């Protein structure tokens, strides 16, 4: 007879295997896809569909997950690549690629490794672009190189389901010897610019200084001219006013002689005068003075001015009347003032640095030199005795 316990054990084993198969089938049938990830599913070895984010059910042992593709933008930095420029200089260029998978099916089935393909395509395109430029253009044309690389890569990777967003040159390193030469060239260029700027500044300074001196000279000349014109105008006005006053006052020899006699004591009374010259025309002036005060007042024709009232001023009717002193008294007073002035001059100073010598009045100079005779004084006309 068969052992009933052995049959039960076999049944349990079969049930366990069936349960394990069901669990495995359920695990393989349920697939949860995370966000920004696409899963390629093959059925019996052929492409079936692309699973997006969410919960999906697969047929166990029939559907198989081929690959999962990251749909986010990726950044790949490639190691420095040696590139030869058009002037046969080797430069090392680091590149950074920003790309994104847009079609997961093409990225899986069109190329085995799209990242490696992008790297190699970047290197070859970079050598083609930089090879047509010299070192200076390579260093100063980063934007142009980036644009050309992006255009070539985007066109080539489009059929791979990859879109290249940006291409950046991280660094361009020329050889060390070229770096030293470039630094020397840059230093020389900066020195040249500094010298030019210094010369331009000095030139502008000289121009501004000369312009300022020119304007200052012009202003000084204009000021001097205006000052001279104003001075001349002032003197002219003063002369005109004096002339007008003299003309309106109708000055005659009597007034001039009187003013002359009043000025002589002032000349002699100055403490700075060491000598005093006695004018030779003093006697003639006194004669005119005596004649003016002694005779009757006449007009321009020499005739007596009978139309003028006694006690009125000869300067005009619009002036206040004046009272004249007695001619004899005025003549005596003038002679006394003249004598006093002569005495003061003799006491305070010397004549030409020598003591006063009466021989001078007698027609002899000190030392025996003759003095030209003085014109005789005209006798006063119509003057009453003193």
What pLDDT does 292 receive?
53
- Return d(Cα 383, Cα 289) in angstroms, integer: 10
| CATH number where 168 lies | 3.30.479.30
Q: Which of 45-59, 265-279, 327-341 has the lowest mean pLDDT?
A: 265-279
The verdict on residue 235 lying in a domain is no
Question: 129 and 31 share a domain?
Answer: no
How many structural domains are present in the chain?
3
Question: 291 and 341 share a domain?
Answer: yes
The DSSP secondary structure of 331-370, one letter per residue, reads HHHHHHHHHHHHHHHHHH--BTTB---GGGTTTB-TTS-B
List the Cα angle 223/227/230 in 5-degree steps.
140
Which of 174, 191, 219 terminates a domain? The answer is: 174
Can you tell me the mean pLDDT for 104-110? 90
Question: 49 and 111 share a domain?
Answer: no
Q: Sign (positive/negative) of CA torsion 277, 281, 284, 288? A: negative
Question: 46 and 81 share a domain?
Answer: no
Q: Sign (positive/negative) of CA torsion 354, 359, 362, 366? A: negative
The verdict on residue 319 lying in a domain is yes
The verdict on residue 180 lying in a domain is no
Q: Could you give the 3-state DSSP secondary structure of residue 9?
A: helix
What pLDDT does 252 receive?
67
More confident: 308 or 212:
212
What pLDDT does 56 receive?
86
- Return d(Cα 272, Cα 327) in angstroms, integer: 34
What pLDDT does 101 receive?
92
Q: Tell me which residue range forms the domain holding 96.
A: 74-174
Question: 99 and 169 share a domain?
Answer: yes
Residue range 121-138, pLDDT digits in tens: 888 988 888 888 888 888
301's CB contacts (< 8 A; 6+ apart) are none
Question: 259 and 354 share a domain?
Answer: yes
**What's the full length of the chain, in residues?**
386
- Whole-number average pLDDT of the chain: 75
Question: 155 and 83 share a domain?
Answer: yes
- Return d(Cα 206, Cα 204) in angstroms, integer: 5
The verdict on residue 199 lying in a domain is no
Q: Quick one: what percent of the chain has pLDDT higher than 90? A: 14
The DSSP secondary structure of 153-174, one letter per residue, reads HHHHHGGGTEEEEEEEEEEEE-
What pLDDT does 204 receive?
93
Question: 28 and 123 share a domain?
Answer: no
Q: Residue 82 burial by CB count (10 A; 0-12/13-18/19+): exposed, middle or buried?
A: exposed
Give the confidence band of 365 by pLDDT, cuts at 50, 70, 90: very low
265's CB contacts (< 8 A; 6+ apart) are 337, 340, 341
Question: 258 and 320 share a domain?
Answer: yes
Residue 341 predicted with pLDDT over 80: no
**69 pairs with which residues across the strands?**
38
List the structure tokens of 159.
């059929």
Residue 196 predicted with pLDDT over 90: yes
Q: How far is C-alpha 364 from the geometric centre of its chain's CA atoms?
A: 81
Question: 158 and 132 share a domain?
Answer: yes
The verdict on residue 292 lying in a domain is yes
DSSP annotation of 188: H
More confident: 269 or 191:
191
The verdict on residue 14 lying in a domain is no
Residue range 238-283, pLDDT digits in tens: 888 877 777 776 666 666 667 767 776 776 666 665 665 555 555 5
pTM of the model: 0.45
What pLDDT does 308 receive?
44
What pLDDT does 262 receive?
73
Can you tell me the mean pLDDT for 95-112? 90
Question: 258 and 353 share a domain?
Answer: yes
Residue 103 predicted with pLDDT over 60: yes
Residue range 303-313, pLDDT digits in tens: 344 444 444 44
The verdict on residue 291 lying in a domain is yes
Which of 12, 41, 70 terminates a domain? The answer is: 70
Largest Cα separation within the chain, whole Å, is 211
Q: Which of 15-24, 35-44, 74-83, 282-291 has the lowest mean pLDDT?
A: 282-291
Which of 47, 70, 93 terminates a domain? The answer is: 70
Torsion of the alpha carbons at 238, 240, 242 and 245, rounded to the nearest 10: -140
The verdict on residue 1 lying in a domain is no
What pLDDT does 272 receive?
63
The kind and range of the H/E element at 31 are: strand 30-33
Question: 50 and 109 share a domain?
Answer: no
């Amino acid at each position: 007879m068969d052992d009933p316990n052995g049959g039960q054990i076999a049944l349990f084993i079969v049930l366990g295997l069936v349960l394990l198969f069901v669990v495995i089938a359920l695990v393989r049938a349920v697939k949860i896809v995370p966000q920004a990830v696409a899963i390629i599913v093959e059925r019996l070895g052929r492409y079936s569909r692309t699973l997006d984010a969410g919960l999906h059910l697969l047929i166990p042992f029939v559907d198989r997950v081929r690959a999962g593709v990251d749909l986010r933008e990726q950044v790949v930095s490639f190691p420095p690549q040696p590139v030869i420029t058009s002037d046969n200089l080797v430069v090392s260029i680091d590149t950074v690629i920003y790309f994104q998978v847009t079609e997961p099916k093409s990225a899986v089935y069109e190329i085995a490794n799209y990242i490696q393909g992008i790297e190699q395509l970047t290197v070859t395109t970079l050598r083609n672009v930089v090879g047509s430029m010299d070192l200076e253009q390579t260093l100063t044309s980063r934007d142009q190189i980036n644009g050309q690389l992006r255009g070539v890569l985007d066109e080539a990777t489009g059929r791979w389901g990859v879109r290249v967003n940006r291409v950046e040159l991280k660094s361009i390193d020329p050889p060390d010897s070229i770096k030293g030469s470039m630094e020397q060239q840059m230093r020389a260029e900066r020195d040249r610019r500094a010298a030019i700027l210094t010369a331009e500044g000095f030139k502008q300074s000289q121009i501004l200084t000369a312009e300022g001196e020119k304007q200052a000279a012009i202003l000084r000349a204009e000021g001097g001219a205006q000052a001279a014109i104003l001075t001349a105008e002032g003197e002219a006005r003063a002369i005109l006013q004096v002339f007008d006053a003299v003309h309106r006052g109708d000055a005659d020899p009597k007034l001039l002689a009187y003013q002359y006699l009043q000025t002589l004591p002032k000349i002699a009374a100055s403490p700075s005068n060491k000598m005093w010259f006695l004018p030779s025309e003093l006697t003639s002036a006194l004669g005119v003075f005596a004649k003016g005060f002694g005779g009757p007042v006449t007009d321009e024709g020499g005739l007596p001015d009978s139309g003028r009232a006694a006690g009125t001023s000869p300067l005009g009717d619009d002036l206040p009347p004046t009272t004249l002193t007695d001619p004899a008294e005025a003549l005596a007073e003038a002679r006394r003032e003249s004598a006093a002035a002569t005495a003061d001059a003799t006491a305070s100073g010397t004549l030409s640095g020598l003591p006063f010598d009466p021989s001078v009045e007698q027609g002899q100079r000190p030392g025996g030199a003759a003095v030209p005779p003085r014109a005789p004084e005209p006798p006063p006309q119509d003057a009453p005795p003193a």
